[in-house]
Amino acid sequence: MVKINENYLKLKGNYLFAEIARRVEKFKNSKPEANIIKLGIGDVTRPLADATVGAMHKAVDEMAKAESFRGYGPEQGYDFLRDKIVEFEYKSKGLNISADEIFISDGSKCDTGNIQEIFGTDNRVAVTDPVYPVYIDTNVMAGRTGVNKDGRYENIIYLSCNAENNFVPELPSERADMIYFCYPNNPTGMTLSREQLKKWVDYAIEEKSVILYDAAYEAYIREDGIPHSIYEIEGARKVAIEFRSFSKNAAFTGTRCAYTVIPKDVMAYTIEGEAHPLNNLWNRRHSTKFNGVAYVIQRAAEAVFSDQGQKQINEIIDYYMTNAKIIRQGLENIGIKVFGGVNAPYIWLKTPNGLDSWEFFDKLLGEAHLVGTPGVGFGPSGQGYFRLTAFGNRENTEEAVERFRTKLNLE
User: Taking contact as CB under 6 A, which single stretch among the options 61-69, 101-109, 234-242, 375-383 is the one that binds ligand PLP?
Assistant: 101-109
Nearer to ligand PLP, 178 or 182 (CB): 182
* Among 52, 139, 191, 247, interactor with ligand PLP by CB under 6 A: 247
Give the number of residues in contact with ligand PLP, rule: CB under 6 A: 13
Give whole-number Cα distances, 245 to 255, 326, 333, in Å: 11, 26, 34
Does position 186 bind ligand PLP by CB under 6 A?
yes
Task: Report the SS3 class of residue 348.
Answer: strand
Query: One-letter amino acid identity for 304?
Result: V
Strands 338-340 and 370-371: unpaired
- Rounded CA gap, 388 and 38, in Å? 9
- Rounded CA gap, 172 and 203, in Å? 10
Nearer to ligand PLP, 155 or 253 (CB): 253
- CB of residue 91 to ligand PLP, shortest distance in Å: 23
Does position 373 bind ligand PLP by CB under 6 A?
no
Closest residue to ligand PLP, based on beta-carbon distance: 107
Binders of ligand PLP among 257-296, rule CB under 6 A?
A: 258
Nearer to ligand PLP, 336 or 389 (CB): 389
Binders of ligand PLP among 326-355, rule CB under 6 A?
A: none
Task: Report the SS3 class of residue 181.
Answer: strand
Does position 109 bind ligand PLP by CB under 6 A?
yes
Nearer to ligand PLP, 119 or 246 (CB): 246
Nearer to ligand PLP, 119 or 259 (CB): 259
Does position 379 bind ligand PLP by CB under 6 A?
no
Binders of ligand PLP among 198-217, rule CB under 6 A?
A: 214, 216
User: Quick one: which of 387, 386, 377 has its CA closest to 12?
Assistant: 377
- Rounded CA gap, 55 and 302, in Å? 8
Nearer to ligand PLP, 127 or 349 (CB): 127
Does position 188 bind ligand PLP by CB under 6 A?
no
- Rounded CA gap, 277 and 241, in Å? 12
Task: Report the SS3 class of residue 338.
Answer: strand
Q: Provide the 10 A C-beta neighbour count for residue 147.
A: 11
Asked if 69 contacts 62 with a C-beta cutoff of 8 angstroms, the reply is yes
- Rounded CA gap, 257 and 245, in Å? 6
Nearer to ligand PLP, 324 or 401 (CB): 324
Backbone angles phi, psi at 98, to 5 degrees: -110, 165
Does position 182 bind ligand PLP by CB under 6 A?
yes
Residues near ligand PLP, by CB under 6 A: 107-109, 132, 182, 186, 214, 216, 245, 247-248, 253, 258
